Amino acid sequence: MTLDQITDAPDILMEFLEYHSTIRGHSDRTVAAYYTDLKILFRYLKQRWHKVGRDVPFNEIDISDVNLDFIKQIKIEDLFRYQSFSPEMSGSLSAASRCRRTSSLKSFFNYLTVKRHLLDNNICLELDMPKRRASLPRYLDESECDKLLSACSGPYMYRDYAILMLFMSCGLRISELVGLNLSDVFEDHVRVLGKGNKERIVYFGEGCREALDDYLMVRDNGKIHPDAQKALFISQKNGRFGARGIEQMLERKLLEAGLDASRYSPHKLRHTAATLMLRNGVDTRALQEVLGHSNLSTTQIYTHIDNAALHEAAMANPIGRKKREEISDVKE
């Protein structure tokens, strides 16, 4: 969803979205998430404050009249309740959804107080970020990567193989790979447009270079749509290969390789690249640059999945090496 497609946002919300799109340079996806979270907030408050009839469906509550006076009435208690509110009334929100919603609230109220000076106090300073259960990222080991690559066959084998190589050797996000143009590919690296419209250079090895060369030899079939001429990867319908198409392709290849397609996604291939780099001597600072993480803490999750390093750490503890008879001898 782009800003042009948002037609029901009140002025104060639209100005916030435009700020994130133009000034902060956030992606359409991020802006759409802010819009969705705050639209639900305003509808929830109208319903909670009895400003609409009970017979009005939640998704039809008009928010076009929300203004600064409306927002000044919001109390921290309202936001506490909203954090876990679900308009479907079926079950509770996931921890990830609550975190995203809280992040939207904090960003909105920070904008109103710090950037626009429309509010004297930021009530979201008292709003804690919900805790999320820490989980280790799933990834393919090297032998499973080989199986997946070996499953590339058929009329689009060179394209699919090159895509999988870029995922598993460079650790690209799916949005970054979809956005690649021919002009972004160089001899030993690609130029990537990441989150926040930040460009970075990601290098690749000889195998990836060979995969790209093989694909580029068959890429142009003379039928590519004019608006996709610059795109690196072309779909079966001769347009830019989109995210959904790549997800479906990966699912097919996983099944053909005998791997569990329900456990892996393009983002899991990014985890795979990060894990293999870390296990083969890349430090976290370099990995941070490769993956395009703004914060090192995001990258450090991968330091917890190197089982070899964990085993080495355990073996280094002298207590863990002591046997029962050795302790008994000391007692005697």
Catalytic positions, please?
Answer: 173, 195, 267, 270, 293, 302
From the list 238, 266, 232, the residue with the least C-alpha distance to 250 is 266
Give the C-alpha separation, 271 to 280, whole Å: 14
* Separation of alpha carbons 273 and 292, rounded Å: 13
Dist. CA 25–CA 196, nearest whole Å: 5
Helix axes 266-279, 284-291, angle to 10 degrees: 150
Nearest alpha-carbon partner for 145 in 159, 161, 126 = 161
Diameter over CA atoms, the chain: 87
Alpha carbon distance 264, 254 (integer Å): 8
Sign of the CA dihedral running 285, 289, 291, 293: positive
Residues in the chain: 332
